[in-house]
A and B are shown apart, each in its own frame.
Chain A
Amino acid sequence: MGNPFKSKAFVVLVPYIWLFVFFLAPFLIVLKISLSMTAIAMPPYVPAFDLSAGIGGILSDLKELSLENYAFLFSDSLYIKSYLSSLQIALVSTALLLLIGYPVAYGMARAPKAWRPTLVMLVILPFWTSFLIRVYAWIGILSREGLLNTFLTWAGLIDTPLTILSTNIAVYIGIVYSYLPFMVLPLYAALEKMDESLLEAASDLGCPPLKTFWVVTFPLSLPGVIAGCFLVFIPAVGEFVIPDLLGGSETLMIGKTLWAEFFSNRDWPLASSVAVILLLILVIPIVFFQNAQQRSQERNG
Chain B
Amino acid sequence: MAANAYSPIKRKFAPWDDPSAKPFIRFENVTKRFGDFVAVDDLSLDVYEREFFSLLGPSGCGKTTLLRMLAGFEKPSEGRILLDGQDISGVPPHRRPVNMMFQSYALFPHMSVEGNIAFGLKQDKMPKADIEARVQEMLRLTKLEPFAKRKPHQLSGGQRQRVALARSLAKRPKVLLLDEPLGALDRKLREETQFELMDLQQDLGLTFVIVTHDQEEAMTVSDRIAVMDHGQLVQVASPAVIYEFPSTRYVADFIGDVNFLSGKVSAVSGDDIDIKDDSLACTIRAHADNPGAKAGDDVWLAIRPEKMRISLDQPADTATNCVAGEVWDIGYLGDVSVYHVKLENGNVVKSTVANQTRLVERPISWDDKVWLTWPRDAGVVLTA
Contacts and interface: CB of A to CB of B under 8 A. Distances in A.
Interface of A: 195, 197-198, 200-209, 211, 216, 219-220, 300
B109 A204 contact: no
B171 A205 contact: yes
B153 A197 contact: no
B17 interface: no
Contact of A205 (B72, B120, B153): B120
B123 interface: yes
Contacts of A195: 104, 106
Interface of B: 71-73, 92-96, 98-100, 102, 104, 106-110, 119-120, 123-124, 151, 153-154, 167-168, 171
A208 B124 CA distance: 11
Given A200-B106, A206-B171, 18 more contacts: A197-B102, A197-B104, A198-B106, A200-B100, A201-B100, A201-B102, A201-B107, A202-B94, A203-B94, A204-B94, A204-B99, A204-B168, A205-B120, A206-B94, A206-B95, A208-B94, A219-B110, A220-B109
Q: Looking at A198, A201, A208, A300, which has the most chain B CB atoms within 10 Å of its CB?
A: A201
A201 B108 contact: yes
A202 B154 CA distance: 21
A228 to B, nearest CB: 18
Nearest to A198: B106
Nearest to A208: B94
A216 B94 contact: no
B127 to A, nearest CB: 16
Contacts of B72: 203-204
A196 B311 CA distance: 57
A198 B108 contact: yes
Nearest to A197: B106
A219 B92 CA distance: 24
Q: Looking at A202, A204, A220, which has the most chain B CB atoms within 10 Å of its CB?
A: A204
Contacts of A204: 71-73, 93-94, 96, 98-100, 168
Contacts of A207: 94, 119, 123
B124 to A, nearest CB: 6
B110 A200 contact: no
Contacts of A300: 151, 153-154
A220 B167 contact: no
Contacts of A216: 108
Q: Which 4 A-B pairs have the closest CB atoms?
A: A205-B120, A206-B123, A201-B106, A197-B106
A197 B164 CA distance: 13
A204 B94 CA distance: 5
Given A200-B93, A300-B151, A300-B153, A206 B106 contact: no
A79 B378 CA distance: 97
Contacts of A205: 94, 99, 119-120, 123, 167-168, 171
Q: Looking at B93, B151, B171, which has the most chain A CB atoms within 10 Å of its CB?
A: B93
A206 B126 CA distance: 12
30 contacts: A195-B106, A197-B102, A197-B106, A198-B106, A200-B71, A200-B73, A200-B93, A200-B102, A201-B106, A202-B108, A202-B119, A203-B72, A204-B71, A204-B98, A205-B119, A205-B120, A205-B167, A205-B171, A206-B94, A206-B95, A206-B123, A207-B123, A209-B94, A211-B123, A216-B108, A219-B110, A220-B109, A220-B110, A300-B151, A300-B154
Contacts of B100: 200-201, 204
A203 B92 contact: yes
Contacts of A203: 72-73, 92-94
B178 to A, nearest CB: 12
Contacts of B154: 300
B269 to A, nearest CB: 57
Nearest to B151: A300
Q: Looking at B71, B123, B153, which has the most chain A CB atoms within 10 Å of its CB?
A: B123
Q: Looking at B71, B73, B98, B106, which has the most chain A CB atoms within 10 Å of its CB?
A: B106
A198 B108 CA distance: 7
A207 B93 CA distance: 9
Contacts of B94: 202-209
A135 B119 CA distance: 48
Contacts of B99: 204-205
A199 to B, nearest CB: 9
A244 to B, nearest CB: 43
A206 to B, nearest CB: 4
A195 B102 CA distance: 12
